[in-house]
Structure 1
Amino acid sequence: MFGMLGIVLTFAMVFGGYILAGGKLAVILHSLPYELMMIGGAALGSFLLANETAVIKSALGGVGRSLKGPKWQESDIQDVLCLLFQLLRTARASPVDLESHIEDPDNSPLFQSFPRILQDKQAVSLISDALRSASLNYDDPYQVEEMLSQRIRLIEDEAMHAPHALQNMADALPALGIVAAVLGVIKTMSAIDQPPEVLGKMIGGALVGTFLGVFLAYALVAPFAHRLQAVMRQDQSFYDVIKSVLIAGLHQHATNLCVEVGRQAAPEHVRPTFGDLENALRDLKRAS
């Protein structure tokens, strides 16, 4: 909501101020298609040249994701804590029963109880691999913590490729705007014998390129890149919550304490309250 409001406000203030100051949109609108073709085409071409297919798809989808906001909300943090509570309790009660859940999560009733988490293959893989390592006596908490940290770091590095690609495009747009403006000046110089009113329009059209490059860079693409980076980082904290609970479990802390450690690891604005989590865990115990 605020993202769309920001876009509307930006356009309204920039072009509204221009019109109120006596500027004529006709000059901009006349040159806009050609300037946009040169600047936008060059930016898109360099973007395709510089990035792999996976990064391109992620960046294009990231524009919508930055407007939509983070994937994981407070309810998801509570759900993953409840899931980990059940898995740790199962592991301590019957390691054999745990094996069926971590080897085939898609058919596990525990995982199926939380479909949003089950859909995230990285979260499911992180949980299953860590619990499998513990079942294979690879239960040194510090070694597992290092393994999980490395996995999460790789996930974060891959997630950051898209915002970095968008930021690189934003950095290039002002220079591409200058390229378009220089081409406009070349066109103007070739018509130097025309009357001043014609030359004025041609020079104004050339300057549209500089304006468009700077405007797209700092008013649209760069904010999208920064917003997407913030969204990605918040979503990465979901995996830190998982790691905290699993490591606490390997230290043989009480299951409730393990879950509380994970709750404390969640960002404050998506952290479920202690009371809400306790009620959810109490309901799970009654259901079982």
Structure 2
Amino acid sequence: MLGIIGIAVIFVMVFGGYILAGGKMGIILKALPFEFMMIGGAAAGAFLLGNDSSGAKHTLKDIGKVFKGPKWKPEDYRDLLCLLFELVRLARQSPVAVEEHIENPEESSIFGKYPKISADKYAVELICDTLRTMSMNYDDPHQVEEVLDNRLEAMEHHAMHSSHALQTTADALPALGIVAAVLGVIKTMSSIDQPPEVLGKLIGGALVGTFLGVFLAYGLVGPMAGKVKSVVEEDMHFYNLIREVLVANLHNHATNICIEVGRQNTPSHVRPSFGDLEESLKSVKQEAA
């Protein structure tokens, strides 16, 4: 919703100010389809040239993040802590019993309580692979922490591709606007024998190309790239929470301490309160009993 409001404000302020200042939309509207064809088409072609098919699909899909915002909400962080509590406690009580949950998370009764988390393959794989590693006695906390750090870094690098691709396109748009404007000037020069009022409209149409390139770059595509980046960074806190809890578990802290370490390392705006989490954990314990 905020993204739609932002786009509306941009258009109203820019074109509203232009009209109130006495500008005429006729020249812009007449030149806009042709200028947009050149600039938008060239930008789309450059985008396809600089990305493979999977990268292009990934970027187009991630544009939705501009309007949807972060995937993980505060209640999801609470659910994640409850899920990790159940798995860590079970792993300590019975390493054999936890295997059925980490080997077949799709059929796990524990994972099944949290459908949104279960539907995220990155979160499930991160949890299951780390717990599986612990069951193999590969329990050096520093080695496991390094593996998790490398994995999260690779995950973030991949997730940031869309932001980089959009930013590269935004950086190219002003130059493509100049290309369109130069072509407009060439067209104008071919009509140099026309009266000033005709030349004025031709020059105005040519300048629409420069305007459109800069407007798209700094008013739309650039801010979208920044928004996608901020959403990715926000969602990465969810996966970092998994790391914090499982590394604390490797240091043989009590299960409640592991969960509290994760809670306190969660950003404040999505961090569940101590009392809220305690109530949720009590419900988990009662169900297990």
* TM-score, length of structure 1 as denominator length: 0.99
Distance 1:220 1:71 in 2: 22
Distance 1:23 1:159 in 2: 43
2:267 counterpart of 1:267: yes
Distance 1:116 1:265 in 2: 22
Summarize deviations over 1:61-97 as a string: whole Å, max 9, x none.
1221121100001111011110000000100111110
Tell me the residue number matched to 2:135.
135
Alignment of 1:251-266 (within 5 A): 251-266=251-266
Distance 1:2 1:22 in 2: 30
- Note the residue ranges of structure 1 that are not aligned, 5 or more in a row: none
Tell me the residue number matched to 1:176.
176
- TM-superposed deviation, 1:195: 1.1
Summarize deviations over 1:170-208 as a string: whole Å, max 9, x none.
000000000000000000000111111111100000000
Tell me the residue number matched to 2:39.
39
Give the paired residue count. Answer: 288
Tell me the residue number matched to 1:92.
92
Q: What CA RMSD, in Å, does the superposition of the two structures yield over aligned residues? A: 0.6
Q: Which amino acid aligns with 1:168?
A: T
2:124 counterpart of 1:124: yes
Tell me the residue number matched to 1:202.
202
Tell me the residue number matched to 2:192.
192
SS in 2 for 1:270: coil
Summarize deviations over 1:231-264 as a string: whole Å, max 9, x none.
0001011110000000011111110110111111
Tell me the residue number matched to 1:76.
76
Distance 2:107 2:56 in 1: 33
Distance 2:265 2:165 in 1: 29
Summarize deviations over 1:127-174 as a string: whole Å, max 9, x none.
001000000000011110001111101100000010000000000000
Tell me the residue number matched to 2:26.
26
Tell me the residue number matched to 1:66.
66
SS in 1 for 2:138: coil
Q: Which amino acid aligns with 1:52?
A: D
- Note the residue ranges of structure 2 that are not aligned, 5 or more in a row: none
SS in 1 for 2:176: helix
Tell me the residue number matched to 1:53.
53
